[in-house]
Structure 1
């Protein structure tokens, strides 16, 4: 029987340990690559704002047709936070910019109908709406009176920049209003909580008088206008 010294045991253990470490180092990149590949396979296409595109509405989908309280309109939007914010925009438009009738608002559109490189792609995820697209055709500017535009700017500022107006894009679409943050953005959650609180507070929310000319509101509106125009799509 061969004599095994302490030195032999230490050396053998070191070799086995090195082999284990080497194997682990080789396995780690392989595992990471496999995980990345699986993530890529399961990743779903999104609209420009990072929300998942939907091929259909109402059945197996996150996009459903919702009524807009106080109007004759209904709109297909992504249910939940996006719905709360976009319906708020539509209601303020109805009360303060121009009265809306059934059919005036277009929400979700199929991914094949929108240009995926433009803000309009957000409609395909149910996170954007067009208000009277026939009256404010894409590519044109100047569709609103200055008083109406002031209200639109106030709406955007009131929502802390969570919504973007298509009139600020390089190729304008003055009918378009879309969510301008990703699904998990905390700013969206904060705005939704604010809107919901208004429902329980007298004198707050759509349909109540708002002084859009107040200095504080105008300052906030102009600051956001400058910021959003600087990031035109």
Structure 2
């Protein structure tokens, strides 16, 4: 395993032993049968964003990974997701994060969002389409905290009817005010002293756990 070089933001470790079974989501569910692979048509991805011919490349802070994404607010938000996974779940290595590409072959419609640079897949070979229940309880706490922190701007493939637990996507249309607001919040954290945002979060703090549980109930 390659240990990423520490950034200016400190990592807050979390003890999985205190997590327990959790009521945030189920673990160990039976896998679903993925759909037949097909070619995605048209000029927009499933979430309404324009399909790109190319995309900017971004380094994932604290790792040796890079990922191609739609520039602007979408990249700001998705990079925040990936940084938190890197710091709080398992260090990322080169090739672990997949973003934009121009291959229109999809199994599920939501996979088309990579064509617009508005989705990432983190270790997709380990968490493929149709497989559910692969995350440990403490990892689910982190995922739920990320989704809550981003106010529904990002959706997780583990919640979809045909799941893909490696998949995270922008869940609002281009220019949505909530996306702009969340991106501004993340930018503020990054410009600050380093005591907020990715690398400075304790997803297991009681108040954050309560907010995440309430967010799951509202979204159900």
Residues 104 and 112, structure 2, Cα contact 8 Å, conserved in 1: no
> Match of 2:25?
none
The 5 Å alignment of 1:29-48 reads 45-48=43-46
SS in 1 for 2:181: helix
> Match of 2:121?
130
Structure 2 residue 144 is the aligned partner of structure 1 residue 153: yes
Structure 2 residue 196 is the aligned partner of structure 1 residue 207: no
Tell me the distance in 1 between the aligned counterparts of 2:136 and 2:124: 16
The 5 Å alignment of 1:181-200 reads 181-200=172-191
Tell me the distance in 2 between the aligned counterparts of 1:86 and 1:224: 19
TM-score using structure 1 length: 0.72
> Match of 1:88?
80
Deviation, 1:111, is 5.3
Residues 88 and 206, structure 1, Cα contact 8 Å, conserved in 2: yes
> Match of 1:162?
153
> Match of 2:8?
none
> Match of 2:216?
225
Aligned length: 178
Q: In structure 2, do the counterparts of structure 1 residues 220 and 137 end up closer, same or farther at CA, with 3 Å as the change threshold?
A: same
Moved over 6 A (4+): none
From 40, 58, 61, give the equivalent of 1:69. Answer: 61
The 5 Å alignment of 1:3-82 reads 45-54=43-52, 56-57=53-54, 63-82=55-74
Tell me the distance in 1 between the aligned counterparts of 2:210 and 2:50: 34
More helix by share: 1
Tell me the distance in 2 between the aligned counterparts of 1:94 and 1:160: 20
> Which ranges of structure 2 fall in alignment gaps of 5 or more residues?
1-41
SS in 2 for 1:141: coil
Structure with more contact order per residue of length (Cα contacts < 8 Å, sep ≥ 6): 2
SS in 1 for 2:104: helix
Tell me the distance in 1 between the aligned counterparts of 2:120 and 2:212: 21
Tell me the distance in 1 between the aligned counterparts of 2:211 and 2:81: 17
> Which ranges of structure 1 fall in alignment gaps of 5 or more residues?
1-43, 58-62
RMSD: 1.6
Residues 111 and 121, structure 1, Cα contact 8 Å, conserved in 2: no
Residues 16-61 of structure 1 show CA distances to partners (whole Å, capped at 9, x for unaligned) of xxxxxxxxxxxxxxxxxxxxxxxxxxxx72111110112x31xxxx
Task: Give 1 or 2 for the bigger CA radius of gyration.
Answer: 1
SS in 2 for 1:90: helix
SS in 2 for 1:121: helix
